[in-house]
Amino acid sequence: MASERLGRENVSDHNPTTPGGQAQPDAAARRKQLDLLERQRNVAAVRDALADPDVQVRKRAVQALGRIGGLADVDELLETLRESSWEIRAAAAEALGVIGDARAIDPLLASLKESDWTLRMYSIKALQRFPEERMVGPVVALVNQDSDRTIRREGLRLLELLNDPRAYDLFIESLNDSDWTIRWISAESLGKLGDKRAIEALLKLQADAEEKVRWSARIALEKLRDISRVELLSIGLGDQDPLLRASAADELGKLGHPMALEPLLYASRDPDEDVRKEVVVALGNLADPGAYGRLLELMDDSSADIRCVAADALGKLGNKDAVEVLLAACEDSADPVRWSAMWALGKFKDLRAVEPLIRRLGDDMPYLRREAAKLLQFLTGSNFGEDAAGWQKWWDQYKNSLEDMMLLQG
């Protein structure tokens, strides 16, 4: 008998005992012994255990065979799919998936119709290991008919792997599913499928309540190549989630495409301050002259953070008409705004910045004093460090000499 052979394989003369000294039940001992047989990769002894009278021993044997067995064991495992115990059938489905032999496909597809959830789940997971075209019909039927959303979700994952046009209608219908994970997977799958008929349905998902669904639909739209990266990110600027809006603004700024200007200008009025900040940074990175007027307006924003990044952006634009506004910003009540304004003025190398920078040498913030001294040296070619009196004396001597100023400006 299989149980007798299992008992003779690599065991001591007495039954294992529990901490209390009582003999361990035979079935429990055989299950424990299967752990050892698996480690020893004793496939023959594990196969014998498939005939053990105890359900849990047979289940453990099936699991072990899936891990250490091979193609020669497929027929044995297929037989166990006919077991009366759903636990054993589920373990067999999992084991067949690990081995990955095509002979298991039809029996596993048949298991998708079983009433037991665990068996259906292990079967669909196993089929994902070796997707083949003949699975499409049965899996579409499973997704359409199964009452469990987790099973339907795994079915869609398998259809995604199959990437078969016959699943198109199902993916489109699933975009309206009440489960957001199913909508998410369906949108992702449509992008991979590459059928441009899906564009309209994917655009409608931009109003979906779930962030991951909206983002998945955008990625799918981009893959369909009917929408540019700029257009995709511009859609993102209108997302319900402020984090996604900010991320879209950041990406648009990095792209540096002129088509991004109008969407960013519109988004610069976003109600969320963090989003507006990212938009202004993006406008600076874009460095499009068309942003100049809006950036000037933002220098009067009630938020110091916005004024700070607006000053920085004006410096990147390089329009010298901004000098007067930046000079005024050097007196801003917020330290970061004063610093950004000084940095921006340094970009222009305009001598009108000298007096405000000398005043900043008396700033309470050490880093602002250091920055002012660096910019004064950059603008003038002279170096008096943080000595405000020395700079003022020098400036009084040369400020009225146009010829000297022109010489200083090079």
In DSSP notation, 298-311 reads HTT-S-HHHHHHHH
> How far apart (Å, rounded) are the C-alpha atoms in residues 318 and 310?
13
Q: Which CATH architecture has domain 288-410?
A: Alpha Horseshoe (1.25)
For the chain, the average pLDDT equals 84
C-alpha atoms less than 13 angstroms from C-alpha of 249 in its C-beta half-sphere: 29
The SS3 call for residue 197 is helix
pLDDT digits (tens, 9 = 90+) for 79-105: 887 788 888 888 888 888 888 888 888
Q: How many other CB atoms are found less than 10 A from the CB of residue 209?
A: 9
In the chain, % helix, strand, coil (3-state, to 5) comes to: 75, 0, 25
Cα–Cα distance, 114 to 117 (Å, whole number): 8
Three-state secondary structure call for residue 350: coil
The DSSP call for residue 23 is: B
Distance between CA atoms of residues 71 and 65, nearest Å: 11
The predicted model gives 146-152 an average pLDDT of 92
Q: Which of 14-23, 37-46, 192-201, 275-284 has the highest mean pLDDT?
A: 275-284
Which of 1-10, 24-33, 61-70, 247-256 bottoms out in mean pLDDT, i.e. has the lowest? 1-10
Q: Are 408 and 398 in contact (CB under 8 A)?
A: yes
What pLDDT score was predicted for residue 353?
82
Same fold flag, 242-286 and 288-410:
yes
CATH 1.10.10.10 fits 242-286, yes or no: no
Tokens of 78: 């297929």
Model pLDDT for residues 219-270, shown as the tens digit of each residue:
888 888 656 778 878 888 888 889 889 988 998 898 888 888 999 999 999 9
Which residue reads 């100023």 in tokens?
405
What are φ and ψ of residue 149, in 5° steps? -70, -30
Q: Tokens 């990095």, residue?
A: 254
Whether the CB-CB separation of 76 and 47 falls below 8 Å is answered with yes
Are residues 310 and 278 in contact, defined by beta-carbon separation less than 8 angstroms?
no
> Around Cβ 165, how many Cβ atoms within 10 Å?
10
Say what percent of the chain tops pLDDT 70: 90
Residues 6 or more apart in contact with residue 393 via CB below 8 angstroms:
none
pLDDT at 19 over 80: no
Domain residue spans of the chain: 242-286, 288-410
End-to-end CA distance of the chain: 102
